Amino acid sequence: MSSRIMHIDMDAFFASVEQQVNPSLRGKPVIIGGRDYKYRSIICAASYEAKRLGVTSAMPSWLALKICPQAIFVPADTPKYIYTSNRIFEILKAFSPKIEKFSVDEFFLEADGCRKLFGSEEEMGRSVKEKIREEFGITCSVGAAPTKITAKLAAKMKKPDGLYVIGRDEALAILEGLPVEKICGIGERLKKRFHLLGIQTCGQLAKYPDRVLKEHFGVIGLWLKAACRVEDFSDIDYFAEGDGPPKSIGHSQTLRQASCDQQYIKDWIYLLSEMVAMRLRHKALMARTVYFYISDGIGGGSAKRKTFTEPTYDGYEIYQRCLHIVEQMGLSDLCARVLGVSVSHLSFADHHYLFDRQDRRDRLIRSVDRVNDQYGEWTVYPASLKNATYER
């Protein structure tokens, strides 16, 4: 059995979208940053004009600014990118019934059985690219190969605006000398551990004895070996809407500097809890598990999660649960540089659920959400958060 997978990878997605929306940015080095986007953050995306000047993805923004002072910084507009991503997904639906949204700017689709409709994979790839360019004015790179891993590699190899169709033999030839860390699934840690075993390339990994791999890496080792032998038949995860419901929702924040001011830290925990809760309610979800992370920025951080019986979408309740976890962690004096609050064990919210017990609070929460939806986030927020929000 041989399957054919196509990978569609948008080129400098966030930056391209901004250049499309604002023509004055076209042809110029554009850098997309997050919150506090010029200094205390890393960049989310860079246009190819900026990349040519040496800006790379995940570079701290102060460094990008140093390398490329003429760059135009644009704050990230996540909803815009998600909206565009969803529309791209809709377009791809016309090409194959099996599509997976791998991330906001990457998609896999099963290319088997589409030959009658679209001709060869080259033709199909060209149609996909044309359609996306027509609709949004932005480019993407397309790779077609026998497996997800190799399709992703193929797309990356011809960036930007590329199209690369490879068969099994060619895929094997590419993998033979390819450093192991180039394939999706091998990061910094695994790379080092493979190197210790004398495995530098995918070709070497492909020939390594199963027993040793199993011993050192468990099933992941065997899975990666199969990937290097182009024998990975993992399925396309297909969701009709492009996205399944999220498994967890969280926020974290690196403070400008470490602080041991208890009230200040608690304000931040409350703020993060409210931010998480607001997103839960937006998605009509409730959560049972609360995860709290704190790091002083010097040693490693510590984290703890706890699952509660009652699900909630109330920011104050999430905050209280965080404090409960803090207590369990035995942290009497909090000192923090990084704080994180996230929730999981999500279920769809049943508004009747809270109706009896906290109807009034429920109505308050929803009114506040409505005001914030209409007039912008943080138009209305708990008074006790004044200091924390001030620093944002």
Partner DNA sequence: TCTGGGGTCCTAGGACCC
Annotated catalytic residues are 106
- At 115, the amino acid letter reads R
| Residues contacting DNA: total by CB under 7 A | 52
- At 315, the amino acid letter reads G
Residue from 208, 229, 342, 354 binding DNA (CB under 7 A):
342
The DSSP bridge pattern shows strands 72-75 and 30-33 to be: parallel
Rounded to the nearest whole angstrom, what is the least distance from the CB of residue 310 to DNA in the complex?
Answer: 11
Rounded to the nearest whole angstrom, what is the least distance from the CB of residue 36 to DNA in the complex?
Answer: 7
Between 19 and 253, CB nearer to DNA: 253
Q: How far apart are CA 263 and CA 249, in angstroms?
A: 25
Q: How far apart are CA 138 and CA 278, in angstroms?
A: 32
196 binds DNA (CB under 7 A): no
Rounded to the nearest whole angstrom, what is the least distance from the CB of residue 101 to DNA in the complex?
Answer: 11
309 phi, psi to nearest 5 deg: -70, -40
222 binds DNA (CB under 7 A): no
Residue from 2, 22, 52, 60 binding DNA (CB under 7 A):
60
Residue from 53, 331, 338, 385 binding DNA (CB under 7 A):
338
The DSSP bridge pattern shows strands 140-145 and 163-165 to be: parallel
Between 62 and 83, CB nearer to DNA: 62
Between 41 and 127, CB nearer to DNA: 41
Of 134-173, binders to DNA (CB under 7 A) are 152
361 phi, psi to nearest 5 deg: -65, -35
Six token digits for residue 368: 């506040």
DSSP string, 309-326: EEEE--HHHHHHHHHHHH
Report cis status (omega within 30 of 0) of the bond before 160: yes
Of 98-127, binders to DNA (CB under 7 A) are 102-106
Residue range at the interface with DNA (CB under 7 A); choices 16-24, 89-97, 166-174, 183-191: 183-191
Between 123 and 310, CB nearer to DNA: 310
Between 13 and 118, CB nearer to DNA: 13
Residue range at the interface with DNA (CB under 7 A); choices 30-38, 157-165, 166-174, 205-213: 30-38
Q: With the C-alpha atoms ordered 124, 126, 132, 135, is the resulting torsion angle positive or negative?
A: negative
345 phi, psi to nearest 5 deg: 65, 55
Of 258-277, binders to DNA (CB under 7 A) are none
Strands laid side by side in the 285-295 sheet: 248-259, 336-348, 285-295, 302-312
Residue where the block lists tokens 């017990």? 357
Rounded to the nearest whole angstrom, what is the least distance from the CB of residue 175 to DNA in the complex?
Answer: 15
Residues 6+ apart with CB under 8 A from 206: 172, 175, 225, 228, 229
Between 104 and 226, CB nearer to DNA: 104
| Residues forming the site for DNA (CB under 7 A) | 34-36, 39-42, 44, 58, 60, 62, 66, 102-106, 152, 184-191, 218-220, 246-254, 279, 288-289, 302-307, 338, 340, 342, 344-345
